Amino acid sequence: MIAVASDPEMQTRKLQKVGGSTYTVSIPKRWARDHGLDAGDEVHLYGHGDGSLVVRGSETDGGRLDGVRIAVECEGGEAVERALRAAYASGFEEIELVAEDGFSDDQRRTASSLAKTLVGTEVVEESDDRLAVRNLLDPDDVSVRQSLIQLEFVALSMHRSATAAATERANADHVPGRDDEADRLCAMITRHFRRSLTDFGELDRLGLDRTELVEFRLAARQLERVADHAVDIARTARALDSPNESETPDELAPLRDDLESVADASRRVVDEATDALLDGDAAETAHGALDLRDEAVADGEALNRALFERASDDAYRLTTVADSLVRTAECGGNVAEVAVQSAIRGPE
């Protein structure tokens, strides 16, 4: 038996054997009429690794993602950057930018620099009024799972360095620069997710089912936010006053210890939640991450109040760090909630 979907109800059809090696199945008449099809017309079948067989009346699947042409009408590099980022995230293989009055040197530099930061892209053609950027990365060579693991490593590494700068006065000047690495990994995962909405074969090439890809994309967005919070913490740490005998050792040192404890807990929430999601069947780990999230948020908010009561500039600045740690734990909790849903659903 094979089920054929028809709006608004699913219908069931029996497979009929024709000849020695061919099966046929009828399609709903209403669907054929709605798509301008009649007896003798060709339809297009796409079989996928998840067990689905897609019937389309159009000629190709995902062909419109081969390329896109975008007219750049504004001056400055911002217009080029926005166009390239949007087209890359949408999943286009080749992005052609055209400018009626030609591109400025600033716009060309922006295109070249951005192409180097987006995974798998480079400028392949260039003229006075045309720039072409192409994605050269084969989906068969992409591991979204490994990219998510790498994104987690980058985000937590940034976060660890940033909080050390706020609590131990370590140097974290490199942290903002690593945010680009987190952004590009998240952008790549988003790109493949969006391609899968149009190109049905994308999932097969990635070796994932649609639900897994949605979950990984949701997790990537939360990990990108963890990296952003790390940048905020690092920038706050740079503004902290130099230690002095009257305040730093006596007044704020114990609170900095508490801050480091909350930071460690918030990172463990992210780590355990991501592990649970990647496992796919780790409900206990995910629930543990949610419990830890609740504890970290409560401790972070209590610490925030304690810092707020101190009458010093550093104490005030550290309240913003405590707030970022709470937000970090909440990001990890969001991943854990996705992991719980995945575990309840079970393998497909």
Cβ neighbours of 57 (radius 10 Å): 15
pLDDT in tens, the chain (348 residues): 444 444 446 778 788 877 777 788 888 888 788 778 888 888 877 777 667 777 777 655 545 788 899 998 888 888 899 999 999 988 898 999 998 888 888 999 999 998 888 888 888 888 888 999 998 888 788 899 999 999 999 999 999 999 999 887 778 889 999 999 999 999 999 999 998 888 777 888 888 888 899 999 999 999 999 999 999 999 998 887 655 544 444 477 778 889 999 999 999 999 999 999 998 778 899 999 999 999 999 999 999 998 888 867 888 888 999 999 999 999 999 999 999 998 887 655
Rounded Cα–Cα distance for residues 307 and 259 (Å): 10
| Residue 319 near residue 312, CB atoms below 8 Å | no
- b/e sequence 241-270, b meaning 16+ C-beta within 10 Å: eeeeeebbeeebeebbebbbbbbebbbbbb
Phi, psi of 126 (to 5 degrees): -155, 130
Phi, psi of 70 (to 5 degrees): -125, 125
Q: How far does Cα 274 stand from its chain's mean position?
A: 13
Rounded Cα–Cα distance for residues 27 and 29 (Å): 6
On the CB side of 273, how many CA atoms lie within 13 Å of its CA? Answer: 33
Rounded Cα–Cα distance for residues 299 and 325 (Å): 10
pTM of the model: 0.81
Rounded Cα–Cα distance for residues 111 and 80 (Å): 7
Confidence at residue 50, expressed as pLDDT on a 0 to 100 scale: 66
